[in-house]
Chain A
Amino acid sequence: MSTPILTIDNVVKHFDITGGFLDQIRFKNGKFKLEKTTVKAVNNVSLSINQGETLSVVGESGCGKSTLARVVMGLYAPNSGQILYSGKRIDNLSHKEMLPFRKKMQMIFQDPYASLNPRKTVQRTLEEPLRFHNPKMSSKKIYDKIEEIMEQVGVDPAWAKRFPHEFSGGQRQRISIARGLILDPELIVADEPVSALDVSIQAQILNLLMETGKKRRLTYLFITHDLSVVQHISTNVAVMYLGNLCELADSGTLFENPRHPYTKALLSAIPKIGETSEKHIKLKGEVPTPIHLPSGCVFHDRCVHANERCVNQIPELLTLDNGTCVACHAVEENRVIS
């Protein structure tokens, strides 16, 4: 098997959100103690993507999807674990050593309003990264390239001199995609790229991503909470809950035969057009905060299959016969009917 283009190896990312000294003081068992408050955003997550594939990461708000994406892009350093690009470790590189990888990896953000600089014309937004990474490129070549990319994403090149506020949400997202594509990247990390858009515009953008993906053999790490989008575009799907990976499978298998109790609940809650709502699986309680992670399986206090072992022991990710990876004691013990 060839080396995956991206490997996320046992990544942990915690945020220290302790305030000043006074905020750290706790009174416990008759003693004062200093205590830090950490958000355990991503905990021991391992994933990999082969070239040309689309891996989607799904899960509910706050489960650590964006944090994972930012660790991959080098915007956050992981507390432990590593990120490999075509087998080469990149999470510990200096700014300069990272430059060639910055060109190969591009990120598209959720908010097409916030991610474009309002003071820059489309032309400047697209021109600057090109000049930065290709100092020897002639102006003629640069402008040709900008025109080509604008056409590719369906924004009239005649509008290159306009500012972001003159475009609609869908057009702005096309421009951010153009910015993502202009350096001919290999890997695109897209964090909720269509979530802010209406369905008719969403379809335009998804088609654009799928088409360019095929044409250029792009690899996508796709972050979203919209499961119908995931089902439509993914090769593989990773389901996260409270910073932990609970299931990983190829897209078809995951949607046909979800194994983890959380994945089952999540999939049963997707509203489907034209189907009357069947009884979806109700979860007990509420999502705990990633500051105080539950013991054992992080899902145990919401899970109907939870037992003693679930409360005490963290389930390992195990690979089932059909290739699905799942971290659940009940699945291992055959207590969940698939």
Chain B
Amino acid sequence: MSHLLELHDLEVKFALRTGDIIAIDGVDLTLDKGETLGLVGESGAGKSVTGFSIINLISKPGYISKGKIIFDGEVISSFSDEKMREIRGNKISMIFQDPMMTLNPVFTIGTQMIETLLAHKNISKSEATKIALEKLQKVQIPSPETRLDQYPHELSGGMRQRIIIAIALLTDPQIIIADEPTTALDVTIQAEIMDLLQELCETDHMSLILITHDLAVVSQVTEEIAVMYAGKIIESGATNEVISNPRHPYTKGLINSIPGSIKPGEKLQQIPGMMPTLSKIPPGCAFNPRCLEKIGICETNIPEPKKTDVGTMASCHLI
């Protein structure tokens, strides 16, 4: 069976003056219709770059150096800019980590929503307004009509994030890539936004890639999970399985370092050291200098993804 979205051995490089660095190193991922996938990992792991590469929006001097991305049966990674515009913001929408990448402070919400629609659909302005209102209702914005005339700075953070989701929904995309959609928001608002995204996936059979560093959020929202470390997916599978039976030492460490997994006041398990910078990835398993369970081979050989005893995939020599 073919998937809605497939990433095959994706490699992304940044051509820096000091030489190329590999930011995404052989990533394989699949996403089905209606499926929710969480992409997690620490700062700099390559989550956002993976998201950007799907819609061909990697910032300069980055480029896809190997592998391919297939959407709905077509190899979109080799699409021209013009052809990609039919996909980006239309069939695949992205909610950016930085809200100001979506919202332009000098235009009203209405103008921004209508322009987006007119760019992708051959419809009249009044039809566009109707759709815009409908989407604002969908994200449960109180008094949507008045919002159309407001500017982004007149809205609270939570409200702004709902508008951004409404904009992402305008074209009825098949996939939404949400990059840290709630990181800047308070927990009560985060919970509401997550409910909303989950609901939309259920009712509209939309697929979701949720990018976040927050394992707890992912564990509540997504069915599948992929854990990234230094540009690679090091563990993936059904979310509840990976969370309750992590097999990669990094995933285990991440889960155990969250307060709440042990008794209050007890020493938290910590992962020593920090993630390497991309120009200094150690040989062998990139995690080996921080790994508490490493063996000799870890320092020399890169581990391949293997099926674990619980049916998930993990790239670790211990498996």
Contacts and interface: CB of A to CB of B under 8 A. Distances in A.
Contacts of A198: 42-43, 213
Contact of A273 (B198, B216, B270, B274): B216
Given A231-B260, A280-B191, A210 B271 contact: no
A277 B220 contact: yes
B265 A232 contact: yes
Contact of B188 (A199, A204, A265, A272): A265
A246 B219 CA distance: 31
Given A265-B188, A269-B187, A232 B259 contact: yes
Interface in A195-243: 198-204, 206-207, 210-211, 225, 227-229, 231-234
B268 A170 contact: no
A244 to B, nearest CB: 17
A282 B199 CA distance: 15
Given A61-B186, A200-B270, A207-B268, A275 B191 contact: no
Contacts of B43: 169, 198
A251 interface: yes
B122 interface: no
B129 interface: no
Nearest to B266: A232
Contacts of B269: 203
B21 interface: no
Contact of B187 (A206, A207, A225, A286): A225
Which of B158, B253, B257 has the largest count of A CB atoms less than 10 A from its CB? B257
B188 A60 contact: yes
Contacts of A282: 192
B265 A233 contact: yes
B194 A251 contact: no
A234 B259 CA distance: 12
Contacts of B186: 60-61, 225
Interface string A238-278: 00000000000001100000000000011011111111110
B203 interface: no
Contacts of A60: 186-188
Contacts of A47: none
Contacts, number: 117
Contacts of B221: 277
Contacts of A229: 259
A207 B267 contact: yes
Nearest to B182: A271
Interface string B101-121: 000000000000000000000
Given A232-B268, A271-B214, A199 B257 contact: yes
Interface in B14-72: 42-43
Interface size class of A (residues with CB under 8 A): 35 or more
A275 B217 CA distance: 10
Interface residues of B, number: 43
A272 B216 contact: yes
A200 B158 contact: no
A287 B264 CA distance: 30
A313 interface: no
B175 interface: no
Contacts of A269: 187-188, 190-191
B156 interface: yes
Nearest to B260: A228
A283 interface: yes
B259 A231 contact: yes
A273 B254 CA distance: 11
Contacts of A210: 265, 267
A168 interface: yes
Nearest to B43: A198
13 contacts: A198-B43, A198-B213, A199-B257, A200-B253, A202-B257, A207-B270, A234-B264, A271-B216, A273-B215, A273-B260, A277-B194, A277-B195, A286-B156
Interface of B: 42-43, 156-159, 186-188, 190-192, 194-195, 198, 213-217, 219-221, 240, 243-244, 253-255, 257-261, 264-265, 267-272, 274
Given A200-B253, A225-B187, A233-B259, 6 more contacts: A203-B258, A203-B268, A228-B258, A274-B243, A277-B194, A277-B221
- The 4 A-B residue pairs with the shortest CB-CB distance in the complex, in nearest-first order: A232-B259, A203-B257, A200-B271, A271-B216
